[in-house]
Structure formats: C-alpha cells, structure tokens
Amino acid sequence: MHFKELNLTPPLLRGIAERGYTELTQVQEETLARTLQGEDVAVQSQTGTGKTAAFLITIFERMLATRPEARKKALIICPTRELAVQIEGEANLLNTHLGLSIGCFYGGVGYATQLGLLKNGVDIIIGTPGRLLDLSDSGRLSLKDVGYLVIDEADRLFDMGFLPDLRKIIRKMPERGRRQSMLFSATLNRVSRLVAAEYLNHPVAIECTPEQLTVDTITQELYHVKSHIKLNLLLGLLKRDAPRNVLIFANMRHVAFRVAKELEANGYRSFHLTGDLPQNDRSRIMNNFMAGKFPILVATDLAARGLHIDDLEMVVNYDIPQDFENYVHRIGRTARAGKGGKAITLASEGTDDHLEAIEKFIGAKIPVRKVTDDMFARDLSLEKMPKHGWGRGPRPAGGRSGRGARSGPRGDGRTSRHHSSPRH
C-alpha cells in the first residue's frame, strides 16, 4: 500500500514524499488503519519497522483535521535522550510544510531553552519521564490539555524503572476516554499489557512479528572465541568484511571505552558512546556517526538506545547481552527499512546461558561460524598503549583488563588451541 492511498492532508503527504517514504511497512499499514480513525493501539514491533512514522503521521493528520483553537497537544514519552532527539528529528522532517511547533525535553542539559519552548507554546511534546515530570511538578508544563499520548519503547521504559514516573505523568492528563493513546514496544510483555489495559481506551493489539523477532534480511553469525583474543578476531572480521560503518556493543562502559581506543590504535577511526559522557558530547558523537564522519561507534545498550541509522551495514556484539531482549534491539539497528545487514556475535567463555536464553527468545539458533587461524589480525594497540593505560576512561575493578595475555609475545593472535569454545 502506498502513502498516497491514505487520503492524508496534502502538506503532510508532501512531507512524507520528501522524506522518501512511498510504501507503508506492515506496522504502518496496520497501525494507521486504526489510529487514523481515533482508536487506541498497543503495538508490538521490532526496531526499524517504521513505528515512529506511524505515530507521528497519526498525530499530524488528526491535529490538522482540528481547528487550531480546539487543537489538543500531543505527548510522546520515550526512555532516553537520544531517542527523544531522534523522534524530534523525524517529526521536524515530516512537519516541513505543516507549521506545527515541536519541542524536545530531557535531562542532562540546562532549562533555559526548554522553558523558552514552553513559553512560546508547543503542539508536540517529546521527552523523557524525569524531565517531563520535573517540568510538570514545577508548574511549567501543563498536561491537562494533552489529547494524544504515545508511550514509545515501553519495554525499555519499564526495564529502566520509569513505570512510577509514567504513572504520575498519566495521572496529570485527561482520562483515557478523552485522549487517543498509542503504546509501542518491541515485545508486549506482561507489564506492557497491564499498562495498556490500565491507561489505554479499549486498545487494539497489533503484533506485526509475534513469531519472528529478528529481521529476515539480517545475516547473523556467531563466533566462539576466548576473551583474551577476542579483539584479534574482531580486527580480522573488520578487515575481511570492510563495512562502511559498524556499531559495536559492549556490556560495560569501561569495555566500550577500551575497545574504541584499541580500534583507534589499529587504524580504525572510532569513538565510544556511554551514559557517563556529558550530553553535549553524546549528541555530537551520535550525530557525527549518523552523518558518516567516522565509521565505528562502540556503545553500551543504554547509550545507543536512540540510534536509528538507515544505512548501518554491521552490528557487532563484542559482549553477548545479558538481557536476551537486548539482542533483538541491538541487531535491529541494521537491516532497517527493508535493507540488508549483518550482525556478528562474539561468544566468550561463560556466556552459554545468555546464548540459550537469546535463542529461546528469538525461536532460532544463531548460525555458528568456524573460527580459523587466518581470521585473526595482529593487535597494534599492544605496542601503542601508553605506559599507564588509555588515560581517563573508566577501568575495571583491580585496574587490569587481561589485555597482556590476549595475543602472545608477537600480538598476532596465533593461539589456535584457545579460540575454540564448544557449544553445549
């Protein structure tokens, strides 16, 4: 189905066309069929399927169909600052010819700009729970005239402990029968369903990919390798595949920092993105990566939550996620909007339980690839590392990361008897 068949307002259709959207994705088609009629929905859809455009188009179209003096505000709640900024960017592109006002509200930055937006009036409010609640409690943000509510990435909101804040925010809004509400989640787990039942008005459940949570166009590969030579294998895989851009996930902040530095020492321009970085630095790094100014970003799950890159070629799980649902979130950063991509997972000792949980969740085995000696590359970071380590980055407890044993005296990764880790 094409967007022009939806009989949307011409200025909105123009913005959609200029954004490059022609055909609706499954989640857009099923969602818009309900939401454009004013119904509430609870939608299960993996990342990269177009859900952001689905709820933005709903809000824009229904707002434009209302007289300005009777128009209600829209509130979009999401778990992280990065995701809020991403949604704001998408909204601004679709809003090019509409003239609606859009504001983004999140913590970690000063209040002046955000208070200025509220003073001038905002039609669409996008924000994280903490800052939204703060502004509301201080009387700067009124939620009494919210007519549209979106709860985005609900599962992540609840995982991060935002359910109490969400409840407080919703209690400040008109009751569910006097607003349209939409909940989106990668998985409609028990908590998501309870929240939908409690705060949405007879929501229609839409499950676009209930049986298969990973995208068909993602090539998944799993390599078993000892942790002390994991970087050597990563370097070899990067050399073999030569991706234009790659997002590498680490479980810990100090690991993300270290891997980015090691890749830089091996000739790969890379940066790390972790939650302890100042917001301005995080925004700059994220924007530069999405603009293609450097090819490799090493990030933790929380820091990368808002990254939506249309042409990301590869995702690497340097560490296997301890939360099985995060595997789906991570690899879903590639192969977006129907395009192909590759997801590589490096499994080290002690990760069998994580793998079992992931494969049970996605309902499939991740294809295992044999590791051979010629797949390893020499790690030049061992020769370039400063005497006292990499500097100000966070270090693991005890001050040692086990790096010295990774590739032997020559640093060439030729320790073949170690890189095989049988799978149980």
8 A C-beta contact, residue 90 and residue 142: no
Q: pLDDT per residue over 386-398, tens digit each?
A: 655 555 454 433 3
Question: How confident is the model at residue 392, as a pLDDT?
Answer: 47
φ, ψ at 225 (rounded to 5°): -150, 140
pLDDT reported for residue 411 = 37
Task: Classify residue 203 by its DSSP letter.
Answer: P
Task: Extract the tokens encoding 38.
Answer: 């004013």
Contact 172, 143 (CB under 8 A): yes
The arithmetic mean of pLDDT across residues 110-129, rounded, is: 93
As a whole number of Å, the CA-based R_g of the chain is 23
Angle value at C-alpha 240, between 213 and 264, nearest 5 degrees: 90
User: What is each CA distance from 309 to 14, 297, 315, in whole angstroms?
Assistant: 23, 12, 11
SS3 273: strand
Predicted pLDDT of residue 291: 86
**Burial call 54-74: b when 16+ CB within 10 Å, e when fewer:** bbbbbbbbbbbeeeeeebbbb
What tokens were used for 402?
């086990």
Residue found under tokens 């990269």:
48
Q: How many CA atoms lie within 13 A of 388 on its CB side?
A: 4
pLDDT of residue 238: 96
Report in angstroms the alpha-carbon separations of 254 from 226, 258, 354, 400, 420: 19, 6, 21, 11, 26
pLDDT of the residue at 388? 54
pLDDT over 90 (residue 404) = no
Question: What is the reported pLDDT for 338?
Answer: 59
Q: What CATH topology corresponds to 218-405?
A: Rossmann fold (3.40.50)
SS3 187: coil
Residue 420 — pLDDT band, cuts 50, 70, 90?
A: very low
Q: What is the DSSP letter of 410?
A: T
Q: What pLDDT shows up at residue 13?
A: 94
Q: Which DSSP state fits 175? A: P
Is residue 335 within 8 A of residue 48, CB to CB? The reply is: yes
89-103 tens-digit pLDDT = 999 999 999 999 999
Q: What is the pLDDT of residue 78?
A: 95
The confidence band for 282, taking pLDDT boundaries of 50, 70 and 90, is confident
204-236 pLDDT tens trace: 999 875 444 556 678 999 999 999 999 999 999
Q: Give the per-residue pLDDT at 339.
A: 67
Mean pLDDT over the full length of the chain: 85
- Specify the pLDDT at position 403: 37
Domains 3-207 and 218-405 share a fold: yes
Q: Where do the structural domains in the chain lie, given as residue ranges?
A: 3-207, 218-405
Mean per-residue pLDDT for 25-34? Answer: 93
Most confident option among 153-162, 167-176, 276-285, 350-359: 167-176
Does the structure show a pLDDT above 50 at 5?
A: yes
pLDDT for res 418: 37
On whether the CB atoms of residues 347 and 223 are closer than 8 A, the answer is yes
CATH homologous superfamily of 3-207: P-loop containing nucleotide triphosphate hydrolases (3.40.50.300)
Task: Give the pLDDT mean for 116-132.
Answer: 95
Tell whether the model's pLDDT for residue 400 goes beyond 60.
no
C-alpha to C-alpha distance for 77 and 79, rounded to whole angstroms: 7
Q: Mind listing the pLDDT tens digit for each residue in 129-188?
A: 999 999 999 999 999 999 999 999 998 888 888 999 999 999 999 999 999 999 998 778
